Amino acid sequence: MTYDLELQVALRERGRRVLSPAEAKALQALKRHRSWEAAAKALRRSQPALKRLLARAARRVGERLVLSTGLLTARGRKLLKEYETLSGALDLALHQAAQLPRVTVDGLIAGEKGVLLVQRANPPFKGMWALPGGFVEWGEAVEEAVCREIAEETGLITEVEELLGVYSKMGRDPRGHTVSIVYALRPVGGRLAAQTDATRVAWHPWDTLPLLAFDHAEILRDFRRRRETT
């Protein structure tokens, strides 16, 4: 028999638990799918069970975390962001301690106006422009991850067009060793607007690109060379 050890983070405030791992996953599903029905289906739970779970969390917090429509309240969004920040920091520390790289994704959307970039709202490189992207979540396919990250940062719904490359040099991310899988994508819906982890989102002409975070300038150079030779 084979066993797995799983570490989970519970969000606490002044010694009192306010968000459990299960409740955080429920909020993440609602944030991603924007409806009780779709979130329950993704989590393989019934809608009543999902609502009871988050109702218990709301009673502990003292206010609603989710609206009747399935959208997160301001308090729900804040708690989820705190949970994701702290759990991400713990996950990164564990990977560094074990000397294991973390897997990330970056999405490149090119159009007539140039390339779509986001201005980062959080460290590292806070305030700098970058390709939309982030860490792959447990159990998530990388293609799903890049579409999710783009939706969460830009508001756009996208489809993967092609794999552009894998970037893994040590030092590309000051937080530790990360391996980024980069995809070209095309928008198929949504509305362009800065979302979580981004203060602004905008198209940038190729000849006036800003100073970019991480190794994203290299990624864009490789993309342009590839397009020029095909």
| Tens-place pLDDT, residues 176-191 | 899 999 999 999 999 9
Domain count of the fold of the chain: 2
Among the three residues 61, 96, 131, which one is the final residue of a domain in this structure?
Answer: 96
pLDDT at 13: 80
Higher pLDDT: 91 or 166? It is 166
Q: What is the pLDDT of residues 179-224, one digit of tens each?
A: 999 999 999 999 999 987 889 999 999 999 999 999 999 999 999 9
Mean pLDDT of the chain: 91
> pTM above 0.75?
no
Residue type, 47: Q
What number is the average pLDDT over the span 50-65? 93
Residue 59 has pLDDT above 90, yes or no: yes
> Of the candidates 71, 96, 121, which is a domain's last residue?
96
Q: What sign has the CA pseudo-torsion 114, 115, 120, 124?
A: negative
Place of tokens 């067009």: 161
Count CA atoms closer than 13 A to 152's CA, side-chain side: 24
Of 13, 56, 50, the C-alpha closest to 28 is 50
Say whether both 124 and 217 belong to one domain.
yes
Strands 114-120 and 198-204, by their bridges, are antiparallel
